[in-house]
A = this chain, B = another copy of it.
């Protein structure tokens, strides 16, 4: 009713009819079309992994607000999130799917920007967006746009990375500064004034992971510390492996404005979300090689060895300890409830 259907999403865009077809052609295909996506059939057909390989498969939905933020947007995040989740297994991601849930009235210009960002990020990561779906819900029943991506990767049969592999003496690395994404979003949302100084770290890390695996074949596991931050990832590793983990606080790279924001907001930076970082546990004698590999990658310049795996004091309650510069230790807990809704 008087709605400008040229500029905004309308319910007809989700109809399965002509309007939807046109949106697919003019918007999605124009942004990230390729020969697989182009076929017009319901399923994308892809080459299987090479002999001796297995598949890795992961999915993530994105409900972040705001949709555009310093350092990225929901489209970049949606590609990076799934590329990184697939990569944590040691797999090379090669194809992703994309499901949009659009709210009636959402700006088509914003959607176009988001698609362009997905296309650019997919190119950077070397993956193709090969299949998709679009649904539209009435105004007030969603919030602009939600995106789901799922991703497939190929992985060598011998590769057995898992959070359950950590052993006493292993080194713990992080690929760069922590807390950037969470603070960038909080700041953008609440006009805290940190925007100018803190950008989201949203980045595809598949090349960084592959490089580490080349030089450190005894790598135990990777995980990207997104929601729940480093605290969740390290506690998950400790729990899966039945070990304690000891982190040296001074070794963990944190940008000064992120540190300042955390102090002001009363947050533990270890619990703040990241979207372009990997935590990695490696055999001690490969730690230096892994570190150099990370540091030679565009998204790993600030990588650091931040701690080690130690025997569990109480094997039924594996814990993560943070030791400060004076030798004092505190237990690093997982976030219990919610720190910041819709951070990704």
Contacts and interface: CB of A to CB of B under 8 A. Distances in A.
Interface stretch (A136-144, A255-263, A308-316): A136-144
Given A143-B137, A143-B141, A131 B17 contact: no
Contact of A99 (B60, B227, B342): B60
B44 A56 contact: yes
A34 interface: no
A169 interface: no
Interface centre among A51, A59, A152 (most CB of B within 10 A): A59
A341 to B, nearest CB: 5
Contacts of A155: 45
A97 B163 CA distance: 20
Given A59-B150, A89-B42, A227 B335 contact: no
A57 interface: yes
A120 interface: no
A233 to B, nearest CB: 9
A204 B111 CA distance: 32
Interface string A247-277: 0000000000000000000000000010000
A227 B41 contact: no
A232 interface: yes
A14 B146 CA distance: 15
B240 A17 contact: no
A308 to B, nearest CB: 21
Interface in A319-344: 334-339, 341-342, 344
Contact of A43 (B12, B39, B133, B153): B153
A61 B11 CA distance: 15
A192 interface: no
B100 A57 contact: no
Given A153-B43, A163-B41, A18 B59 contact: no
B45 A89 contact: yes
A48 B49 contact: yes
Contacts of A211: none
A10 B341 CA distance: 10
In the complex, the 7 A-B pairs of residues with the closest C-beta atoms, listed nearest first: A16-B227, A16-B228, A17-B335, A150-B150, A12-B337, A148-B148, A59-B97
Interface of A: 10-12, 14-21, 39-49, 51, 53-63, 85-86, 88-89, 91, 95, 97-101, 130-138, 140-143, 146, 148, 150, 152-155, 161-164, 221, 223-224, 226-229, 232, 236, 240, 273, 334-339, 341-342, 344
